[in-house]
Amino acid sequence: MIFTRRTVANPVSFTGLGLHTGVPVELTIHPGEDGIAFRYGSTRTEATPDNVTDTRRSTKLGEVGTIEHLMSALAGLEITDAEIELTAPEIPAMDGSSLPFCQGLRGVGMVELGEKELPSLYSRIFLQELPLKIAVGKGTGHWRYEYETGDRWPGSMHFESTSIIDAYETEIAPARTFVLTEELPMIEQYGLGKGLTRESVTILGEAGFDNEARFPDEPARHKLLDMLGDLYLSGIPARFLNVVGTRNGHTANVKMAAMMHQAVNTKKAGC
């Protein structure tokens, strides 16, 4: 596969509170020419599956937590190179979605850096750890996520896009992170979600949404948003993939990203 490398035309900054820590943070995305990397303090960490250090409730890369919403925006806008600098060790929550990142990145514009070639995925890659499943193969940007909660509302919900890049900014990026009402005591007990408000999280009650949803299937859309961000750690542009995920979260996503990364880089080394 041959694709165009892109970076931001100018630096762009975002401020807010870390999604889980609630710590104030300023994040600045600088133009780059050497892939995507995060810098906190004196440490520069490349955005690859090997550098993931935690996947409990979010994806942590080196010392930097909750990278998935920003990585999703970069994937959706097909930005391949960026140097990302932070003043605290967690990405700001913003409004719980990827939309503010998309808007900021669009605002400063993008420049092309030339073409890059990677081997294609010639066979599908499967990960199955029931009840979760992920299937990834060479394709045209057809992505689907199936969110299931058993007997609890909403039971079964899915979102599907036949052209993920074209649909990303309007149909996927605005979907916010969500929580089940019965999870709220645990989240408070463990000191999570300190950077979120009722406006930046979708709350799933026992029979429906407890606050206003942006989409009737917002949880499924957000899970696809997360999956896109995590799988972009593989370095493979989303438009070249067909992906189906069922009940998978960050741990399974990162495992799949590692399998994808290994598949294309093994072929590249053997060429």
Residues carrying an active site annotation: 250
Q: Which of 35, 4, 54, 86 is nearest to 230 (CA)?
A: 54
Q: Helix, strand, coil shares of the chain as percentages rounded to 5?
A: 30, 35, 35
- Calculate the CA 123 to chain-centre distance: 24
CA angle at 109 for the pair 107 and 115, rounded to the nearest 5°: 155
Do residues 28 and 13 lie in contact, with contact meaning Cβ atoms separated by under 8 Å?
yes
**Side chain identity, residue 123:** S
Q: What single DSSP character describes residue 48? A: S
**Side chain identity, residue 145:** Y
Do residues 235 and 261 lie in contact, with contact meaning Cβ atoms separated by under 8 Å?
yes
* Cα–Cα distance measured from residue 161 to residue 94, given in angstroms and rounded to the nearest whole number: 25
Point out which residues pair with 29 in neighbouring strands: 12, 84
